[in-house]
Amino acid sequence: MISHVHHKPLVSLVGYCITGSQNKNMEFHLHGKGQPTMEWPTRMRIALGAAKGLAYLHEDCKLTDKSDVYAFGIVLLELLTGRKPVDNKSPTDHHQSLVTWAMPQLIDRSKLNNILDPIIRDKMDLKHLYQVAAVAILCVQPEPSYRPLITDVLHSLISLVPVEIGGSLHIT
């Protein structure tokens, strides 16, 4: 079904390579060694684009929604923390899952700054970061019925992203 979908935020997948110098995906830019890192506007542009694509799939094609919302929440956590979804190099099982590691710190606003990617720490409006963290928390709820609809996520993010990168926030 997904191969028949045509929409602006979605592209056809012809092929994919994860080796060599052609790997220029989000993982490369967030976790690649010695590579340029993504600034907050780029991270939010990715989040907004992914939310738009998922909203289209859920609202117009009736594909699965709650599992996609969970996966989107993981992407938001990656964008916030700069960490991989699963850390295989962790010495304990406690730190292997990004959700397990981040959740206790996301719930306590005073600890949010401690888990932010150092590249974006101290460069962002804390109010916006709290709101993005709140959206991420909702998306990764263990019980699917507690997760928001992707359209609700999209509306939450649009108000946090400046107009010039696809949102509705007017910066004065």
125 CB contacts (<8 Å, ≥6 apart)?
none
Q: Give dist(CA 157, CA 97) in Å, integer.
A: 24
Catalytic residue among 60, 87, 117, 122: 60
Burial class (CB in 10 A: 0-12, 13-18, 19+), 63: middle
For residue 60, indicate whether it is catalytic.
yes
Q: How far apart are CA 24 and CA 30, in angstroms?
A: 10
Taking residue 88's Cβ as centre, other Cβ atoms within 10 Å add up to: 6
* Bridge partners for 97 per DSSP: 86
Catalytic positions:
60
